[in-house]
């Protein structure tokens, strides 16, 4: 009887173990398409034997737990490498956006301005280099016929095209920078939500690991942790706390988590979160309600605990900040430098020339009273300087409209002005010196005759047009000794090479991540064939043990009847 009872108990525990194994295999199959799941196995151990007269009789099998096929070191590597991959992919995306906003195809392989200039996509259709070259070509054409209104109009038109291109690139990149600021704010919110989630799951893992297993919670933890690592670099560990549980022999473990080298979860509790730091256009830190941004603001990330040394190493947040500050803003600032230098240089040269004649004297002028002229052919402003053919200069005292026959002002010159002498406007900027950006002077765009193509105002004088056209070949000290065309191409090449470098690194990093994930899949991935084979084994074992129990039950009943 004791032997039958022991065997019956052994069959019963074996039946329960195989039933539990079937449930675990079913759980694996149910999660075969779940990327966050790691397969599980029932841990079986031989039960303590039962002492009998002949020695120790086997007591079957007992379930000691459910193990999870997960490599913690591999999980850490995937999180770390995933953070690097997210950084590269996010930066690549931003640079591609910027490329579109620059408005030209970038040569990503040229290693010099010359290589850039020789490439098929030097500046793309309607690129900055094209517009610049067309402007100087128009000036060269004007020098062949300096009195031509048509050629003058072409110069103004090409200058407006160039101005629009510079200003449009500046505006678009400024818009992109503003959008990236908002992107940082939304990413910080996502990170803080993930911290709250990890804190809660960390508590559940700590509690369940002591009394049973927390495999499913661990899956959730690592899946969310990998999502978090895409935004910021993360380091974590579960640290044993106190003595082991007397029943299971397991100590309580609590989560410690760092981001960018700063502790955010300690002993299972959130001790800090990310916060937004906003600096205005002057670089001063400001606080704006609900983090509403104004134009010119720049957003950075820091820990709520201001004493922490916060240093981003990888992730999307770092990618956004780096691309915004180093690439987008860097390119924008360089284009602004080129634009401002170009404006100053053209204005410096242009102001030394003279326009076509804007008036003709209708009487002798000896230096006193109003200047009597034939019908004025251009609007004049107070302070304008009119250059006469005898070398004298008349400074206009008040604004005077086109068509007027009298001018107020003062005359400076060695000789009196004779009837019939003509005067041209001088000392006029080609580009508006006070405007933000590159804008053609309204007076010239409204009246191309005011464009200074000569030094004297004579209709056949082309000296100033030649001087302006020659600027294209000048080396500019403010641009590291480059011409304007070389400076533009140099910046475009640099931006294109940066994009090419990021794309190459992202491709290489993608290969690393693919290999790591494939390795993890071989360890923890669910195989349908394997699980189905296990189900058959467990099912057969379950049926065999059920049959054994039925047989033992019959023997036990027969033994009782014999005794009766």
Q: Contact at 8 Å (CB) between 11 and 545?
A: yes
| Residues 139 and 151 sit within 8 Å (Cβ to Cβ) | no
Coil, helix or strand at residue 119: coil
Q: Strand pairing partners for 275?
A: 302
What is the rounded (10 degree) CA torsion for 164, 167, 168, 173? 170
Q: Which of 179, 170, 169 is nearest to 93 (CA)?
A: 179
Query: Which pLDDT does position 438 carry in this prediction?
Result: 93
Per-residue tens of pLDDT for the chain, all 564 residues: 455 566 666 777 777 888 888 888 888 888 888 888 888 888 877 777 677 666 676 667 777 778 888 888 888 888 899 999 999 999 999 998 888 888 655 554 444 443 343 333 433 445 788 899 999 999 999 999 999 999 999 999 999 999 999 999 999 998 899 999 999 999 999 999 999 999 998 888 888 765 567 788 888 988 999 999 999 999 988 888 776 666 666 777 888 999 988 888 888 888 888 888 888 888 888 887 777 887 788 888 888 775 566 788 999 999 999 999 999 999 999 999 999 999 999 999 999 999 999 999 888 876 667 888 888 999 999 999 999 988 889 999 999 999 999 999 988 888 888 888 899 999 999 999 999 999 999 999 999 999 999 998 888 899 999 999 999 999 999 999 999 999 998 888 888 888 999 999 999 999 999 998 888 888 887 888 887 888 888 788 777 777 777 776 676 667 677 766
Whole-number Å distance between alpha carbons of 238 and 256: 6
Q: How far apart are CA 255 and CA 267, in angstroms?
A: 6
DSSP E strand stretches across 150-245? 234-244
Output the 3-class SS for 280-326: CCCCCEECCHHHCCCCCCEEEEEECCCCCCCCCCCCHHHHHHHHHHH
* Tokens linked to 272: 């800090």
Coil/strand/helix, residue 360: strand
Local structure of residue 407 (DSSP, 8 states): E
pLDDT reported for residue 246 = 62
- C-beta separation of 278 from 299 below 8 A: yes
Cα–Cα distance, 476 to 490 (Å, whole number): 14
| Alpha-carbon gap, residue 541 to 557, rounded angstroms | 24
Task: Tell me which residue of 211, 197, 267 sits closest to 239, measured CA to CA.
Answer: 267
Residue 559 token pair: 């033994």
Rounded distance between C-alpha atoms, residue 266 and residue 255, angstroms: 7
- Buried/exposed 4-17: b ≥16 CB within 10 Å, e otherwise: eebbbebbbbbbbb
Strand segments, DSSP code E, in 409-544 are 409-412, 422-426
Of the candidates 150, 134, 153, 148, the one whose C-alpha atom is nearest the C-alpha of residue 448 is 153
What CA–CA distance (Å, rounded) separates 193 from 331? 34
Phi, psi (degrees; rounded to nearest 5) at 129: -65, -40
SS3 percent helix, strand, coil of the chain, rounded to 5, is 55, 20, 30
Q: Are 188 and 315 in contact (CB under 8 A)?
A: no
- Which residues neighbour 335 within 8 Å (Cβ) at sequence distance 6 or greater? 128, 166, 169, 170, 173, 488, 491
Which pLDDT belongs to residue 112? 42
CB 410 within 8 A of CB 369: no
Query: Which of 423, 443, 446 minimizes the C-alpha distance to 433?
Result: 443
**Within the chain, what is the greatest distance between any pair of CA atoms?**
156
**Sign (positive/negative) of CA torsion 158, 162, 167, 168?**
positive
How far, in Å, CA of 228 to CA of 335, rounded? 36
Q: Token pair of 188, please?
A: 């910080």
First to last CA, the chain: 14
Looking at residue 49, what DSSP letter applies?
P
Structure tokens at 330: 């860097």
What integer pLDDT is reported at residue 453 of this predicted model?
A: 94
Please report which helix (H) or strand (E) contains residue 245, including its range: none
Question: Which pLDDT does position 103 carry in this prediction?
Answer: 67
């Amino acid at each position: 009887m004791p032997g039958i009872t022991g065997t019956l108990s052994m069959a019963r525990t074996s039946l329960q173990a195989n039933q539990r194994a079937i449930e675990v295999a079913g759980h694996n199959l149910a999660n075969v398409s779940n990327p966050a799941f790691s397969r599980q196995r029932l841990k079986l151990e031989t039960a303590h034997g039962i002492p009998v007269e002949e020695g120790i009789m086997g007591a079957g099998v007992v379930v000691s737990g459910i193990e999870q096929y997960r490599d913690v070191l591999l999980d850490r590597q995937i999180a770390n490498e995933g953070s690097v991959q997210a950084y590269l992919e996010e930066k690549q995306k931003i640079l591609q956006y910027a490329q579109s906003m620059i408005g030209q195809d970038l040569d990503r392989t040229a290693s010099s301005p010359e290589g850039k200039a020789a490439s098929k996509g030097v500046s793309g259709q309607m690129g900055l280099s094209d517009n610049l070259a067309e402007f100087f070509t128009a000036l060269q054409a004007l020098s062949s016929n300096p009195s031509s209104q048509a050629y003058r109009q072409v110069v103004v038109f090409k200058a407006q095209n160039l101005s629009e291109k510079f200003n449009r690139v500046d505006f678009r990149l400024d818009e992109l920078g503003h959008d990236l600021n908002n992107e940082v704010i939304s990413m910080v919110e996502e990170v803080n939500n993930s911290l709250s989630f990890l804190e809660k799951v960390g508590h559940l893992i700590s509690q369940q690991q002591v009394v049973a297993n927390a495999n499913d919670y661990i899956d959730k933890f690592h899946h969310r942790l990998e999502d978090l690592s895409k935004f910021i670099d993360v380091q974590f560990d579960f640290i044993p706390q106190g003595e082991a549980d007397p029943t299971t022999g397991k100590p309580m473990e609590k989560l410690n988590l760092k981001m960018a080298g700063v502790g955010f979860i300690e002993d299972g509790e959130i001790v800090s979160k990310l916060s937004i730091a906003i600096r205005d256009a002057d670089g001063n830190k400001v606080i704006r309600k609900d983090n509403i941004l104004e134009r010119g603001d720049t957003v950075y990330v820091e820990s709520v605990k201001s004493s922490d040394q916060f240093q981003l190493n990888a992730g999307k947040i770092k990618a956004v900040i780096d691309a915004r500050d180093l690439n987008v803003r860097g390119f924008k600032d360089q284009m602004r430098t080129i634009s401002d230098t170009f404006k100053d240089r053209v204005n410096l040269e242009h102001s030394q020339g003279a326009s076509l004649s804007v008036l003709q004297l209708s009487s002798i002028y000896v230096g006193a009273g109003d200047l009597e002229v034939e019908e004025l052919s251009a609007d004049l402003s107070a302070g304008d300087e009119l250059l006469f053919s005898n070398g004298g200069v008349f400074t206009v005292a008040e604004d005077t409209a086109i068509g007027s026959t009298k001018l107020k002002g003062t005359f400076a010159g060695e000789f009196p002005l004779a009837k019939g002498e003509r005067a041209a406007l001088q000392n006029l900027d080609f580009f508006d010196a006070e405007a933000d950006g590159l804008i053609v002077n309204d007076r010239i765009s409204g009246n191309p005759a005011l464009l200074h193509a000569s030094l004297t105002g004579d209709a056949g004088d082309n000296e100033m047009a030649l001087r302006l056209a020659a600027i294209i070949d000048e080396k500019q000290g403010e641009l590291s000794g480059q011409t304007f065309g070389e400076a533009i191409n140099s910046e475009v090449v640099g931006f294109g090479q940066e994009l090419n470098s990021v794309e190459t690194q992202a491709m290489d990093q993608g290969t690393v991540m693919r290999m790591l994930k494939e390795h993890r899949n071989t360890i923890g991935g669910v195989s349908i064939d394997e699980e189905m084979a296990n189900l058959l084994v467990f099912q057969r074992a379950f049926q065999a043990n059920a049959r054994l129990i039925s047989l033992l039950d019959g023997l036990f009943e027969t033994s009782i009847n014999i005794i009766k």
